[in-house]
Chains A and B, each alone.
Chain A
């Protein structure tokens, strides 16, 4: 039975997950949510060709983030979900890990739903798709709405791999230092990141957790 969300209908859900056992497990949850699971067995070609092909055959996607290790796909889940923003509702699931959070943050603006593996069940999948569709129509959930926000650079450590910088959002939880990879900033603007510098960015200040914050449209004076 297809599910109807406003003007969108979701019937077939493509599952992109490199581990065969996990792929089966996800397919079972998708089936329990009354969608038709379409597991992608891989190996997948480049991102553009894959999404173009898959979109003809599917209404929505569930991506695991970590796809490169077993030569399953030449891209990460986060990159794929971001590329499908406003095209096809897509959920990104991952086991929490600091390194992943940094890597995902670059695309976070265009990842409406990042879901922990533990939280995946038929209900969360259906709700997740609904949130995606609403965000595509600029109906943001409070934790995803972008605000022009002042950001203060507390520290920069270029010796770390990857180089990191640390910021505070006076308009968020002002005592929390947020660590961000330097590559989050477009290369032409990176030289502006220095201790004490303040800049503006689009940030979803309504997010409860650091992991869910995104940063976009950087403005330096």
Chain B
């Protein structure tokens, strides 16, 4: 039998699958048509939305690009799954083509019940080609190829230029304000929204229903930025950067070595890229002298803020979209709010000149594949941000240092001028003014001295902490290890040599050494555990677990001081959001406080009780002992830094408790003689659950 030759054929339902079901949102579909205009070297592209706030409306996208003749329409525009023009290479205006596969276009064309294309070429703009697709024809047909489309040639209306116009009529669904807002945002960000190139792509939006959104597209506020970061990486992978202030004067500049994060200062392995970032300081004082209002700029940054990514002049989604913070700027800002820009306080772009198209889109168009090249670009941009943050911190430190030097001078000048005023005042009041001023001056001086001592105390204690941690680390590794290993060997060998004699002669002193060595290890572990960096992270903290860990860690000291801990916990496992270090500071300082004050109680049992109760969304934590209670100091003064009744005491323990409780959003109070007779501390901590 003769073989039967058959082509693969498609049911019209494939059009719905490829069109509607691949269509992420109306704005993205319309954008595909705009991208076609861009590829056709159009300078102007107008997007009109006519009565689209309800179904049945019309969309018209018209441009002044190259246009198409009948052959181009037949062999390019109507061929789905093929780029209109070959990928790579550039247009006459040196644009690198978007290279869409035509599926986005199908999604757009299917938005209405019909789509009409009218196109005029630059070589013969007096003739135009018209094609209409009525989608209902496909509903009736069995196969896609059964519907025959007609391209009509006709004279162009007078004074029309080359270009293409696509009209989608009788839209199946309405286009909401949110859609238009996204479209507006995408339009300005489709081509470079930052440059003023006369040959640049200028999409314009006409949507009478939402005229305010047209304005957003037009307005810009770059001149209101406080800082402008300009970073470049050249074709050899070498980077440099500068930061200018709002007047355009250079503040800092950096060479490749200052920017790259890696120790080896290697070149960035990515195509040439430029990173511009405009950083705004959104406060009333800064904007009081600016033409734009603070609110305007805030709104604009809410809409456009963040760092956008451009590949060959075209914006890549989703980088810089709301909620997309690919450079993790907001996280860094949380940690250092003063000197770090966030996506709501800055706008920027990373432009990559990727002629070889090394950056590849994921198949679902949800961004680039995170290849080494992409990660290098990310690293270049975050390196520049880190560098700028460091320079700004340095500047802030200098400013603060200068303020510290100048403050006493200014204070002295103010004092002198006040004294002059007093001298010139009427004799009757002069004397009492002088007395009052001297009194005030003395009090102020005392306050300054106190603060100075407090700062010194914190520095001394920090140094003591760092040193203690180093010693703990060193002793665990060497002397304690040697003692521990050697004593075990001594015991083992002695048992072997002495046999029965070992027990009465050596067992006890050997056991004493082992026990003391273990106590030394605990001391070291407590110190090292307190400085564990992960404990300073904010996260979920299990309160009972932290209390148990801390009391367990303190066991050797508690045992030595003969202190019994009585725990009476609420049911469940209450947890809060905060850092483990904060809760540990509270428990450690309260325990330390009790152990120290028990020294005054030389007979009877020493008890510490820790009780937790859950009330609503709060945890009540009562920490009480049967020590001497709060004596010799007013209850309200115990929280003050440096206030102590103990010789050589730092007076900081309870200050830290107060500050840590506040940091966790709670409250703390003290009772001079509580339930057990000694001091009692009552903490209220907000919890997330139990």
- In the bound complex, CA of A22 to CA of B478 (Å): 7
Assess the B533–A161 pair: CB atoms within 8 A. Answer: yes
Assess the B489–A66 pair: CB atoms within 8 A. Answer: no
- In the bound complex, CA of A159 to CA of B331 (Å): 9
B426 CB-CB contact with A under 8 Å = no
B539 CB-CB contact with A under 8 Å = yes
Question: Which of chain A's residues 87-104 have a Cβ closer than 8 Å to chain B?
Answer: 95, 97-98
Question: Which of chain B's residues 476-495 have a Cβ closer than 8 Å to chain A?
Answer: 476-478, 480-482, 484-486, 488-489, 492-493
Residue in A32, A95, A158, A191 whose beta carbon sits within 8 Å of that of B476 in the complex: A95
Contacts of B480 in A (CB 8 A): 95
Contacts of B372 in A (CB 8 A): 188
Chain-B contact segment, one of A43-51, A115-123, A129-137, A207-215: A115-123
Q: How far is the CB of B210 from chain A (nearest CB, A)?
A: 36
Assess the A160–B476 pair: CB atoms within 8 A. Answer: no
Residue in B473, B485, B492 whose beta carbon sits within 8 Å of that of A22 in the complex: B485
Query: A121-B492, A179-B534 in contact; A97/B478 too (CB < 8 A)?
Result: no
- In the bound complex, CA of A160 to CA of B486 (Å): 38
Assess the B484–A157 pair: CB atoms within 8 A. Answer: no
Contact with A along B367-401 (1 / 0, CB 8 A): 00010100100000000000000000000000000
A164 CB-CB contact with B under 8 Å = yes
Contacts of B529 in A (CB 8 A): 98
- In the bound complex, CA of A164 to CA of B529 (Å): 17
Contacts of A121 in B (CB 8 A): 488, 492
Assess the B482–A191 pair: CB atoms within 8 A. Answer: no
Chain-B contact segment, one of A2-10, A23-31, A34-42, A139-147: A23-31
Contacts of B331 in A (CB 8 A): 158-159
Contact with B along A152-172 (1 / 0, CB 8 A): 000101111100100000000
- The closest CB in chain B to the CB of A17 belongs to B481
- In the bound complex, CA of A18 to CA of B338 (Å): 45
B332 CB-CB contact with A under 8 Å = yes
- In the bound complex, CA of A122 to CA of B492 (Å): 10
A19 CB-CB contact with B under 8 Å = yes
Residue in A29, A117, A118 whose beta carbon sits within 8 Å of that of B489 in the complex: A29
B235 CB-CB contact with A under 8 Å = no
Assess the B335–A159 pair: CB atoms within 8 A. Answer: yes
Contact with A along B315-328 (1 / 0, CB 8 A): 00000000000001
Query: A25-B486, A122-B492, A159-B331 in contact; A117/B534 too (CB < 8 A)?
Result: no
Query: A95-B476, A95-B477 in contact; A19/B482 too (CB < 8 A)?
Result: yes
A138 CB-CB contact with B under 8 Å = no
Contacts of A174 in B (CB 8 A): none
Contacts of A179 in B (CB 8 A): 534
B537 CB-CB contact with A under 8 Å = yes
Contacts of A25 in B (CB 8 A): 481-482, 485-486, 489
Assess the A19–B477 pair: CB atoms within 8 A. Answer: yes
Q: How far is the CB of A97 from chain B (nearest CB, A)?
A: 7
- The closest CB in chain B to the CB of A166 belongs to B539
- In the bound complex, CA of A121 to CA of B488 (Å): 8
Q: How far is the CB of B170 from chain A (nearest CB, A)?
A: 42
Assess the A164–B534 pair: CB atoms within 8 A. Answer: yes
Query: A25-B482, A25-B486, A66-B477 in contact; A158/B328 too (CB < 8 A)?
Result: yes
B616 CB-CB contact with A under 8 Å = no
Contacts of B375 in A (CB 8 A): 191
- In the bound complex, CA of A65 to CA of B478 (Å): 13
Q: How far is the CB of A105 from chain B (nearest CB, A)?
A: 14
Contacts of A95 in B (CB 8 A): 476-477, 480-481
- In the bound complex, CA of A159 to CA of B534 (Å): 10
B532 CB-CB contact with A under 8 Å = yes
Assess the B533–A117 pair: CB atoms within 8 A. Answer: no
Q: How far is the CB of A78 from chain B (nearest CB, A)?
A: 15
Residue in B328, B335, B484, B532 whose beta carbon sits within 8 Å of that of A118 in the complex: B484
Query: A32-B489, A32-B493, A95-B477 in contact; A21/B482 too (CB < 8 A)?
Result: yes
- The closest CB in chain A to the CB of B493 belongs to A32
- In the bound complex, CA of A32 to CA of B497 (Å): 13
Contact with A along B182-222 (1 / 0, CB 8 A): 00000000000000000000000000000000000000000
- In the bound complex, CA of A191 to CA of B372 (Å): 10
B528 CB-CB contact with A under 8 Å = yes
Contacts of A164 in B (CB 8 A): 534
- In the bound complex, CA of A24 to CA of B375 (Å): 49
Assess the B533–A160 pair: CB atoms within 8 A. Answer: yes
**CB-defined A-B contacts under 8 Å, sample of 24:** A19-B477, A19-B481, A21-B486, A22-B481, A22-B485, A25-B489, A28-B485, A29-B488, A32-B489, A32-B492, A66-B477, A95-B476, A95-B477, A97-B473, A117-B481, A117-B485, A120-B488, A155-B539, A158-B328, A159-B331, A160-B533, A160-B534, A161-B533, A191-B370
Known interface pairs A28-B486, A160-B537; 11 further A-B residue pairs with C-beta atoms within 8 A, sorted by A's residue number: A19-B481, A22-B478, A25-B481, A25-B489, A95-B480, A98-B528, A117-B481, A117-B484, A121-B492, A155-B539, A157-B537
| Interface residues, chain B, with chain A CB atoms under 8 Å away | 328, 331-332, 335, 370, 372, 375, 473, 476-478, 480-482, 484-486, 488-489, 492-493, 528-529, 532-534, 537, 539
Closest 5 CB pairs of A and B: A25-B485, A21-B482, A191-B370, A28-B489, A95-B476
